[in-house]
Amino acid sequence: EAEVAQSPRYKITEKSQAVAFWCDPISGHATLYWYRQILGQGPELLVQFQDESVVDDSQLPKDRFSAERLKGVDSTLKIQPAELGDSAMYLCASSPRTSGRRYEQYFGPGTRLTVT
Amino acid sequence: AQKVTQAQTEISVVEKEDVTLDCVYETRDTTYYLFWYKQPPSGELVFLIRRNSFDEQNEISGRYSWNFQKSTSSFNFTITASQVVDSAVYFCALSEADTGTASKLTFGTGTRLQVTL
């Protein structure tokens, strides 16, 4: 069964350093999402792509976060500089293009970031 | 604005007991989707079910069942004869359905279910 791939699974970095996460959605999925999940809370959307275009980045802290999906396939989320409050799980999800199933989101294993 | 409330932070049951996880939502949309996801200790969110706001039929899948009541804006999840493997955090979520593309999920804060022997 196809899965959403994410790397790295775990990342420890010092504050003020740069960090990047990678996501490869399920093949053929048009929509890609990055969510942030702080410990003890539900995931919150950071950015949503439809193919290579950003659909929603209203909750992305643009002074330090950036995201791209250049060819409409895999995606990278970057934080520079990292702050202590960025410690969280970063989840990537994708949705199929099929109209009847585009509301189903399939999640990757996540990247757990610890900023020291 | 959309909001999902899961008032139960943590529930502990003994194996084989039935357990119901509550979910209450708020939305101004007339068409929307409701979801339940399971998050085991490994961290990955596992899709369990999606319901359309027009479809209020309850659904059963094995030991899982879902009760959708539009009148009370609730979408509760029951596990019958719980097992240790059901231990996880369960999230209820909501998304719009009127957009041309898929839309983001608004999650509740989750309910941690602990099933013991």
Q: Is B36's Cβ below 8 Å from some Cβ in A? A: no
What pLDDT, on the 0 to 100 scale, is given for residue B1?
A: 79
pLDDT for B100: 58
Mean pLDDT of B65-86: 95
* B42 touching A (Cβ < 8 Å): yes
Interface of B with A in 47-106 (CB under 8 A): 47, 50, 91, 93, 95, 97, 101-105
Closest CA of chain B from A18, distance in Å = 24
**In A19-40, which positions are buried (b, 16+ CB within 10 angstroms) versus exposed (e)?**
bebebbbbeebbbbbbbbbeee
DSSP structural state of residue A81? S
CA-to-CA distance for B70 and B19, rounded, in angstroms? 21
DSSP string, B20-67: EE--EEE-S-SSEEEEEEEE-TT---EEEEEEETT----EEETTEEEE
pLDDT score of A100: 65
Under 8 Å CB pairs connecting chains A and B tally to: 59
Give me chain B's average pLDDT, please.
Answer: 91
Backbone φ and ψ of B80, nearest 5° = -95, 140
Span A61-111, pLDDT tens digits:
999 999 999 888 999 999 999 999 999 999 999 998 776 666 788 999 999
Dump pLDDT digits (tens) for A18-48: 999 999 999 989 999 999 999 989 999 999 9
| Three-class SS state of A17 | coil
Q: Which residues of A touch B98 (CB under 8 A)?
A: none
By the CB < 8 Å criterion, does B21 face chain A?
no
CB contact under 8 Å between B43 and A93, yes or no, is no
Per-residue pLDDT at B101: 58
A94 and A33 Cβ atoms separated by less than 8 Å: yes
Nearest chain A residue to B105 by CA: give it: A45
